[in-house]
Amino acid sequence: MGSQDAADRLRARIGAAIIERVAGPQGPTRRRQINQTGERWFAEDRPVRQVHGDSSMFIGGIRALLLQSLHPLAMAAVAQHSDYRGDPWGRLQRTSFFLAVTTFGRAEDAQAAIARVRAVHGHVTGTAPDGRPYAASDPHLLTWVHIAEADSFLRAHSRFGARPLDQAGRDGYVADMARIGAALGVPDPPRTEAELADRIAKYRAELTATAEARDAARFLLISPPLPAIARAPYGVLAAAAVSMLPGWARRPLRLPRLPVTEAVVVRPAARAMVNAIRWATTAPAAATTAPSTAPAA
């Protein structure tokens, strides 16, 4: 009994530490807000709740950031307006809350979160290094960010999720994400997995790795602001995210492809790491601190 109690306490401490980092100091308050009774956008059985509540989102979030960086205008907006270097955890916590409240929260809170993001987007304008103007509210850029996230979250869940979705579930997830995307200003977002793949393919000609994108990838993969004890676990998740990128996305970012190492070492280690995070964050004490452990772009 004593050893079990000690294990439970350790599990709770680890889980609470992970969730505190992802959700931030406002995590408990935000959880109470999300748990209030009221109408929600998504019923409990919807695929988006299954995907966004799973620890595979840690890998999906890293992949999404790398994929999004390949659009020069989207990357210019991030580089010039986002404090991802100075306050990466603040950005993660804000994004995590947005995903949690739109997925699990009341409809009125989800709509308020959408309104806040759209207001911020209205001020994010500028000129990319290649001289082209950009605006975060541009429907074309909004679509790229949306489909890169949906594709990354779904692929990570399909490979590392506790209960991978069947085809109907995967299509349902894309349709659920379409509701969020449309609210953000994405015109005619894809609603099936096949439509999602087709939409990404149509952006291929626009994608390239700028110096800013490669710099962001180095920061994300090599020098994230983490304590020494967290670097090895994070490295496993980051390596798994890279392994899930297609060759056309890796090559511009100068990320190597090591198929044998990825199959034999990276993916099994990542699966074990995701399972460990899932085990820790489902401890009763940890579960009271945040609505979701999912990081995102």
CA angle 257, 262, 268 (to 5 degrees): 160
DSSP 266: I
Q: Which alpha helices (DSSP H) does the chain contain, by range?
A: 2-23, 27-34, 47-52, 57-68, 72-81, 88-104, 107-121, 139-160, 167-184, 193-203, 211-221, 228-243, 247-253, 259-261, 267-281
Residue 291 DSSP symbol: S
Flag whether pLDDT at 84 surpasses 50: yes
Q: What is the pLDDT of residue 203?
A: 98
According to DSSP, residue 206 is labeled: G
**Domain edges within the chain:** 2-288
Nearest to 63 by CA among 281, 250, 275, 262: 250
Q: What would the pLDDT profile of 116-125 be if each residue is shown by its tens digit?
A: 999 999 999 9
Report residue 258's pLDDT band, with 50, 70 and 90 as the boundaries: confident
CB 31 within 8 A of CB 289: yes
Please provide the average confidence, as pLDDT, over all residues in the chain.
Answer: 87
Question: Which tokens is 254 given?
Answer: 């100068």
Phi, psi angle pair for 127, to nearest 5° = -125, 130
Instruction: Find the helix packing angle between 193-203 and 167-184, rounded to 10°.
Output: 60
- Give every CB contact of residue 218 below 8 A, 6+ residues apart in sequence: none
> What pLDDT does residue 61 have?
93
Q: 68-91: b or e for each residue (b if 16 or more CB lie within 10 Å)?
A: bbbbbbbbbbbbebeebeeebeeb
* pLDDT at residue number 35: 82
Average pLDDT over residues 44-60: 95
pLDDT at residue 13 greater than cutoff 70: no
- Name 2's Cβ contacts closer than 8 Å, sequence gap at least 6: none
What is the C-alpha to C-alpha distance for residues 51 and 93, in angstroms, rounded to an integer? 18
Q: Give the Cα separation of 152 and 157 in Å (integer).
A: 8
pTM assigned to the model: 0.87
Q: 260 pLDDT band (50/70/90 cuts)?
A: confident
User: Amino acid identity of 46?
Assistant: R
**CA separation for the pair 104, 191 (Å, rounded):** 20
